[in-house]
Amino acid sequence: MGIVVQKYGGSSVADAAGIKRVAQRIVNTKRDGHDVVVVVSAMGDTTDELRDLAQQVSPLPPPRELDMLLTSGERISMALVAMAIAQLGHTAKSFTGSQAGVITDSVHGRAKIIDISPGRIEAAIAEGAIAIVAGFQGVSQDTKDITTLGRGASDTTAVALAAALGAEVCEIYSDVDGVFTADPRIVKTARKLDSVSTEEMLEMAASGAKILHLRCVEYARRHQMPVHVRSSFSQKEGTWIVPTPEGEQPVEQAIISGVAHDRSEAKITVVGVPDKVGEAARIFEALAAVEVNLDMVVQNVSAAATGLTDISFTLPRADGTQAMAALAKIQDEVGFDKLLYDDQVGKISLIGAGMRSHPGVTAKFFSALASAGVNIGMISTSEIRISVIVDESQVDEGVRAAHTAFDLDSTEVEAVVYGGTGR
Amino acid sequence: MGIVVQKYGGSSVADAAGIKRVAQRIVNTKRDGHDVVVVVSAMGDTTDELRDLAQQVSPLPPPRELDMLLTSGERISMALVAMAIAQLGHTAKSFTGSQAGVITDSVHGRAKIIDISPGRIEAAIAEGAIAIVAGFQGVSQDTKDITTLGRGASDTTAVALAAALGAEVCEIYSDVDGVFTADPRIVKTARKLDSVSTEEMLEMAASGAKILHLRCVEYARRHQMPVHVRSSFSQKEGTWIVPTPEGEQPVEQAIISGVAHDRSEAKITVVGVPDKVGEAARIFEALAAVEVNLDMVVQNVSAAATGLTDISFTLPRADGTQAMAALAKIQDEVGFDKLLYDDQVGKISLIGAGMRSHPGVTAKFFSALASAGVNIGMISTSEIRISVIVDESQVDEGVRAAHTAFDLDSTEVEAVVYGGTGR
């Protein structure tokens, strides 16, 4: 049997009891005959506590030092998991991101993995040991400094390591049972999906579903790595994220996989932009210069009479102030009228690989939202996703209406476990 | 001006306020024109808390993993100190023991420094940055695993780094004002020493004075590195530990520097050992095989009539059970009568470089103890130290009696700060 990579999130290793439970599960997998490599996050809220500590010392800590600080969180959890495994009579060795060969660029706080050189992990496996690797962290190729990959990036570490080791599967454990058709906290009848394609999962992650880190799914797709999302609190099968083989489409599948939502964005509208070649480019250059990631972008058709157009886009709320400042600086130069800022928006996305061959989907989605009294502000589509921006207060109604309209509601009565309970 | 290495203990960086205070002191030294390299311990009781966490998971954690766990403590404090310095407008870079080039052997939990390769520290200094280095930790030369140097070994890191960098002084900051003639918690009239020779400090550290780690003083002596022991809570001068230049003795100095005591030892007596060549060797070989560090060793003169002798020695109480077991195993082979174990003992040591040329010292010491009703169990001497083993309950009286007999009592009335207050 081959290598299994397992990733355990902070809620799974929140305390000594959780660490022992996880250790037992790891040992069981080893006893089944697999080589096991484990990626762990920091215990519970450790990372947030460390951030608070940094805030007490410095409101704007140097990113290099913040990374040095935060990476101690996984160091603690991985050593404890290794100890708990030893207590069960198996050999485990823990490795920092640097020791595990997670080589990154030098962008502290959101470094990207450049390469994985898992020589020490392979050596540990060859000795019969279980390797425990710190998620979320790596070492800069250029400066040899410790880096972090950004919030939630332990998933990415796990999939990248699985790909580098040629693992047969990457299992992502958390406190939820798998991927659901919608957030069960909003839609009581949401169903767990048995499987979903990597492409759909990618759209879900980009649309606000927090179950998997976006970059992790991108990695899984690029390396054709099967990912199994499941709960560390039960033995139930979770959701398989299945790579679609090149040039092949599943013969028959549900048209719509799920409804995702996102309340983390804000909307900026640049009003009265002269409708000339290059004006829009100058606006987006100004935003790129301050490294703001845009999501949806919509430009209204120019009113011929005025020669002016409006450009709207969404972006993470955290970047709102910076983006507004950057745009205000170029107002005179570009000659637009004014800027509107709205952070009371939400995004609802319908995801399904069958969508492209079923033209009625958009109409049914918008009609369901209209019946629920949800007003649509912006629209953006991809081949397997339709997203709309609505008023933040209408997100829940909109998600429920779409979920019902596309027959996603479960007929089974079961207690659904989905985040937020602290488990 | 040259390099100053400063070491701050856990009590100095116990919280955000402490870290900011320490950062200000570091920046002041930098502004005075020095290049500054800082060695930090873990915050407050962090190391003990991490040990507790390990205990919850495994009663006997693998040493490699325990080292991985414990080293996260300094990682946290050093990053926070670097942030606090940045907040004051200076550049600081933190380095783990491994990054700082602290190369050790592979004995987890009490690794010894083999070499220091401070290339990255020198590069940071050359850039004008303040280097912050994790104390207590290094990296194994053979296995590349993370090691720790043992409790209190951050002092050793500091002095070793100071020697490798050719620093002009190594300043050791804690919550006490310096080295005292005796523990001020026992002797209210104890005086702070302005300076003490490295040799005397070595005897004091070996005799139970907790102010400096023994290996740190050994390092300072070997590398002729001046050490300044002082408080991070005041601007007062502390105690200078001054290397005695080869072949030179200070012309005039106080005969007795201080009285140290130690309550951490136990005494074992092997009764009725056949007084033949090699019998003692077999006893000490058995103890060496289980890696027990002996302190004082005394063999009574053999009673000619019986041909039997008694051998007594002291050792750390923590090693008591293991030593007794090792000796019990060879009882038949060696043919001794029985083993006696006493962990209710204490050691009082009189230290002073002038002692060897003043023959009355021993007599005066023993007479002072006798007047105080303190009974002497074992005696051991070096050129600059006399140690006696007494009943544990008589340690305080004995220390006070010796302190007074050798005119060490201060005539000044001052509030003495000495540990135990949680500052």
- In this prediction, residue A294 carries a pLDDT of 85
Q: Which of B354, B359, B39, B384 is nearest to B202 (CA)?
A: B384
Q: Which of residues 222-281 of B touch A (CB under 8 A)?
A: none
Per-residue pLDDT at A32 exceeds 90: yes
SS (H, E, C) A27-86: HHHHHCCCEEEEEECCCCCHHHHHHHHHHHHCCCCCHHHHHHHHCHHHHHHHHHHHHHHH
- Strands of the A265-274 sheet, one edge to the other: A297-299, A308-316, A265-274, A338-342
pLDDT for res A275: 78
- Are the beta carbons of A16 and B49 closer than 8 angstroms? no
> In this model, does residue A414 exceed pLDDT 70?
no
Compare B301 and B410 and report the one with higher pLDDT: B410
Rounded to whole angstroms, the Cα distance separating B15 from B22 reads 11
Q: Which residue of A has its CA nearest to B59?
A: A87
Which residues on chain B are in Cβ contact (under 8 Å) with A83?
54, 57-58, 61-62, 65-66, 69
Tell whether the model's pLDDT for residue A16 goes beyond 90. yes
Helix axes B279-289, B320-329, angle to 10 degrees: 130
Q: How far apart are CA A186 and CA A281, in angstroms?
A: 39
| Helix H or strand E segment including B160 | helix B154-165
* Mean pLDDT computed over every residue of chain B: 89
B353 near A CB under 8 A: no
- The pLDDT score that the predictor gives to residue A415 is 36
Res B35 pLDDT > 60: yes
Q: Which of A84-88, A128-132, B90-94, B275-279 has the lowest mean pLDDT?
A: B275-279
Q: Tell me if chain A has a CB within 8 Å of the CB of B46.
A: no
Tokens 């026992």 -> residue: B186
DSSP class of B15: S
Answer yes or no: are the C-beta atoms of B133 and B157 closer than 8 Å: yes
pLDDT digits (tens, 9 = 90+) for B163-176: 999 999 999 998 88
Specify the 3-state DSSP secondary structure of A294: coil
Q: In DSSP terms, which residues pair with B273 in a beta bridge?
A: B309
B16-29 pLDDT, tens digit per residue, is: 999 999 999 999 99
For residue A171, the distance in angstroms to the closest alpha carbon of chain B comes to 24
Averaged pLDDT of chain A: 89
CB B147 within 8 A of CB B106: yes
- Distance between CA A159 and CA A168 in Å, rounded? 11
C-alpha span between A100 and A94 (Å, rounded): 9
Q: How far is B236 from chain A (nearest CA, A)?
A: 26
* Local structure of A371: helix, strand or coil: helix
Helix (H) or strand (E) holding A95: strand A92-95
Residues paired with residue B239 on neighbouring β-strands, in sequence order: B229
pLDDT digit string, tens, across residues A137-151: 999 999 999 999 988
B422 annotated as belonging to a binding site for a ligand: no
Residue of B nearest to A94 (CA): B65
Chain B residue numbers touching A66 (CB-CB < 8 A): 79, 83
Determine if residue B10 is labeled as part of a ligand binding site: yes
Mean pLDDT within A309-333 = 91
pLDDT tens digits along A244-288 = 765 555 544 557 889 999 999 999 999 988 877 778 788 888 998
Once rounded to an integer, what is the mean pLDDT over residues A391-399? 95
Mean pLDDT of B284-300: 84
Cβ contact A72–B75 (<8 Å): yes
The number of C-alpha atoms within 13 Å of A176 and in the hemisphere containing its C-beta is 21
Distance (Å) from the alpha carbon of A65 to chain B's nearest alpha carbon = 5
Distance CA(B28)–CA(B34), nearest Å, equals 9
| Identity of the residue numbered A302 | S
What is the pLDDT, as a whole number, of residue B422? 28
Distance CA A62, CA A290 (A): 18
- Token reading at A96: 């920092």
- Could you tell me if B274 and B334 are in contact, meaning their C-beta atoms sit under 8 angstroms apart? yes
B178-194: burial string, b at 16+ Cβ within 10 Å, e else: bbbbbbbebbebbbbbe
Q: How far apart are CA B270 and CA B385, in angstroms?
A: 26
Compute the distance between CA of residue B395 and CA of residue B338 in angstroms, rounded to an integer: 28
Which strand (E) or helix (H) includes residue B348?
strand B345-351
Q: Shortest CA distance to B68 belongs to which of B93, B51, B87? A: B51
Query: Going by CATH, does the domain composed of B3-175 fall within 3.40.1160.10?
Result: yes
Interval B206-226: pLDDT, tens: 888 778 888 899 889 999 999
Pick A76's closest partner by Cβ from B69, B82, B86.
B69
**Whole-number pLDDT of residue A422:** 28
What is residue B107's predicted lDDT score, i.e. its pLDDT?
93
pLDDT confidence of A378, banded at 50, 70, 90? confident
What distance lies between CA B54 and its chain's CA centroid? 25
Taking 90 as the threshold, does the pLDDT of residue A354 lie above it?
no
Residue with tokens 């060696």: B334
Q: CA A186 to CA A396: how far, in whole Å?
A: 6
Task: Say whether A83 and B19 touch across the interface (CB within 8 A).
Answer: no
Q: Is pLDDT above 90 for A292?
A: no
pLDDT, one tens digit per residue, over B313-369 is 999 998 999 999 999 999 999 889 999 999 999 999 999 877 766 767 888 899 999
Chain A nearest CA to B416, separation (Å): 30
pLDDT score at A379: 87
Joined tokens for residue B159: 């002095």
**What's the pLDDT score for residue B362?**
85
Instruction: Give the separation between CA B117 and CA B102, rounded to whole angstroms.
Output: 7
Q: Which pLDDT belongs to residue B151?
A: 82
Query: What pLDDT was estimated at residue B175?
Result: 87
Mean pLDDT within B53-80: 96
Share of chain A above pLDDT 90, in %: 65
SS percent in chain B: helix, strand, coil, step 5: 35, 25, 40
Cβ-defined contacts of B197-202 (< 8 Å, 24+): B197/B241, B197/B242, B197/B243, B197/B244, B197/B250, B197/B353, B198/B227, B198/B241, B198/B242, B198/B243, B198/B244, B199/B244, B199/B353, B199/B384, B200/B257, B200/B258, B200/B351, B200/B352, B200/B353, B200/B384, B201/B227, B201/B241
Q: How far is CA A149 from CA A17, A103, A105, B85, B93, in A?
A: 28, 11, 10, 25, 20
Q: Using N-to-C axis directions, what is the helix angle for A72-87 and B46-57, rounded to 10°?
A: 30
> What H or E segment, with its residue span, contains residue B63?
helix B63-70
A9 annotated as a binding-site residue:
yes
A362 has a pLDDT exceeding 80 = yes
Listing DSSP states for B162-224 in one string gives: HHHHT-SEEEEEESS-S-BSS-TTT-TT--B-SEEEHHHHHHHHHTT--SS-HHHHHHHHHTT
CA distance A61 to chain B (A): 5
Interface test with A, best of B13, B66, B68, B139 (most A CBs within 10 A): B68
pLDDT band at B302 (very low <50, low <70, confident <90, very high): low
Q: Does B185 carry a binding-site annotation?
A: yes
Cα A337 to Cα A273, A301, A308, A324, B109, distances in angstroms = 7, 17, 9, 14, 67
Alpha-carbon distance A333 to A274, whole Å? Answer: 11
Which tens digits make up the pLDDT trace of A40-91?
A: 999 999 999 999 999 999 999 999 999 999 999 999 999 999 999 999 999 9
Q: How far B101 CA lies from chain A's nearest CA (Å)?
A: 13
pLDDT of A149-172, one tens digit each?
988 899 999 999 999 999 999 999
Chain B residues touching A72 at Cβ < 8 A: 72-73, 75-76, 79
Burial of B403 per CB tally in 10 Å (0-12, 13-18, 19+): buried
Strand, coil or helix: what is A349?
Answer: strand
Nearest CA in chain A to B68: A79
Burial class (CB in 10 A: 0-12, 13-18, 19+), B11: buried
Q: So what's the pLDDT on residue B249?
A: 53
Query: A88 in contact with B at a CB cutoff of 8 Å?
Result: no
Note every long-range contact of B214-219, with CB atoms under 8 Å and residues 24 or more positions apart, other chains counting. Answer: B215/B112, B215/B149, B215/B150, B215/B153, B215/B156, B216/B153, B216/B155, B216/B156, B216/B158, B216/B159, B216/B172, B217/B241, B219/B113, B219/B156, B219/B159, B219/B160, B219/B163
Q: Are A257 and A353 in contact (CB under 8 A)?
A: yes
For residue B367, give both structure tokens.
């007479």
User: If you write DSSP's letter for every residue of A135-204 in order, what string do you get?
Assistant: SSEEEETTT--EEE--TTTHHHHHHHHHHHHT-SEEEEEESS-S-BSS-TTT-TT--B-SEEEHHHHHHH
Nearest to A61 among B58, B86, B93 (CB): B86
Separation between Cα atoms, residue B241 and residue A253, nearest integer Å? 79
Find the length of chain A. Answer: 423
